[in-house]
Structure 1
């Protein structure tokens, strides 16, 4: 990769890592479901009016919108609102690679190699090490379960994205956002209530507006657009490992900005999760197919 593109890949990973801190701040302004609905609404409009038709079949746009936009982000935001630390959330979400492989075997009949299976086992062990702090260790079990459920939903959406094989990841994400916004808004009204939603909307200040702009336009549209361009240029095998920097930036920024403590078990579990994902992703000696569809960005990225 050219130095300029390496810098771009690192910058995207940094944005996605810092995004967890921004989400944590946003949850002080909005109920979780409303926050997610506003994120996708802003990511979709007015962009959806100018990007043309979806670059994939509608059934896959809807499937990814429900799995990724509605389920994954609802669970993630709810988990963080319930007390899951921002930095640790960025790490636990990387377990989506494990669930992606499981769903790919069950639904796509893929056959993982020994290296991938070993990586899956190592990553799963890492999540187990992180989970040691549940309950008595200051980590809410329910919040941890919600974020882990978000990783499961992300894995399912990865499989749907692979089947969709969108030719333009940015345009695909705009349409996914457009489809996801409406059911999230309805869920917010039903679960969080019109009064809470209206109060949050009335209380929007520059800080809340900045949070929405960052998560919708910077992390979602600009981030996926740049990542998709790198995937098309170099192939998923070359670019995807850079996403392992996301929890590094996530944990570091959460410690610096939010003052979140970093526990030894978090570090040990993080090394195992990242190492396991990389073990399964890196395939020495195999040429990179730069013609691979731009579905790769959803395989190993953050919120």
Structure 2
């Protein structure tokens, strides 16, 4: 990758890492499901009037819209309302990497390397730190909600992996048209019977957070990420995503004054180690291990 594109990849990492803190800011005034509905409505409208429908089945758009938009983000926002900090949310959501690997093996018949199995095992131990030592930064309920969100994200990932030659930016615009109505219905049922009143009482700070989450984190960042994936191999681009939870935890400390307890730091380090091994394990083996042993671990 040239210097310009490395900078763009790091910009996307920064945008997506900071995104979790902006979500937390928005959730201070908006109910989580309503916030999620607004996020996708702002992305989709009026963009769908000008963006052509992606070259894929409508069922792919509907499916990804439900799994990614309704289930993943709905559960994530609910967890972040009061059961998980922004920093830990950015980290634990990366369980989608492990779920995507497992689902790809089961449904796409992809091969899983032994080194990836080792990475998943290390990460599972890391997740257990939050299961058995739940504290002020995350509850057991929050952990379960975010892991569920990660699982639904992985389903959407597998669906998108099966698509060929689809413009990712166009696809995200049309996918964003699916979640608002189901999420609004759930919000009316579970959160508030008068969303208009809630919106009228919302401060400019929250509207700014919504604008960031919608336009910058979704439209701009996905457009840049899609362009990078179009010009470079996934193996060159996706490792940058490992930096997202690092940025997420650092910025949540700066913006929200969040800090991690000792057990949470240990868990975070194990999860990050598992992520690095899963994504970069084969390349690390190529540098550190003899070719004969690499074959046994592949």
Alpha-carbon offset, residue 225 of structure 1: 0.5
In 1, the alpha carbon distance for the partners of 2:237 and 2:63 equals 25
In 2, the alpha carbon distance for the partners of 1:19 and 1:47 equals 21
Q: Is the CA contact (8 Å cut-off) linking 1:133 and 1:139 kept in structure 2?
A: no
Q: Is the CA contact (8 Å cut-off) linking 1:166 and 1:172 kept in structure 2?
A: no
Alpha-carbon offset, residue 146 of structure 1: 1.0
In 2, the alpha carbon distance for the partners of 1:201 and 1:240 equals 37
In 2, the alpha carbon distance for the partners of 1:157 and 1:90 equals 18
RMSD, matched Cα: 1.8
Alpha-carbon offset, residue 166 of structure 1: 5.2
Partner residue in 2 for 1:264:
262
Partner residue in 2 for 1:199:
197
Alpha-carbon offset, residue 111 of structure 1: 2.6
Gaps of 5+ in 2: 286-298
Q: Is the CA contact (8 Å cut-off) linking 1:89 and 1:147 kept in structure 2?
A: yes
1:89-238, aligned counterparts within 5 Å? 89-134=89-134, 139-165=138-164, 167-195=166-194, 197-238=195-236
Gaps of 5+ in 1: 287-303
Partner residue in 1 for 2:289:
none
Q: Secondary structure at the match of 2:217?
A: helix
Partner residue in 2 for 1:50:
50
In 2, the alpha carbon distance for the partners of 1:110 and 1:285 equals 21
Q: Secondary structure at the match of 1:106?
A: helix
The Cα offsets for residues 155-185 of structure 1, whole Å up to 9 and x where unpaired, read as 1111111123452111110011011222111
Partner residue in 1 for 2:273:
275
In 2, the alpha carbon distance for the partners of 1:152 and 1:166 equals 25
TM-score, length-normalised on structure 2?
0.90
Q: Secondary structure at the match of 1:28?
A: coil
In 2, the alpha carbon distance for the partners of 1:151 and 1:285 equals 26
Partner residue in 2 for 1:293:
none
In 1, the alpha carbon distance for the partners of 2:261 and 2:165 equals 40
Shifted more, 234-243 versus 262-271: the winner is 262-271
In 2, the alpha carbon distance for the partners of 1:206 and 1:88 equals 26
In 2, the alpha carbon distance for the partners of 1:140 and 1:69 equals 23
Partner residue in 1 for 2:69:
69
- Greater Rg by CA: 2
Q: Is the CA contact (8 Å cut-off) linking 2:99 and 2:150 kept in structure 1?
A: yes
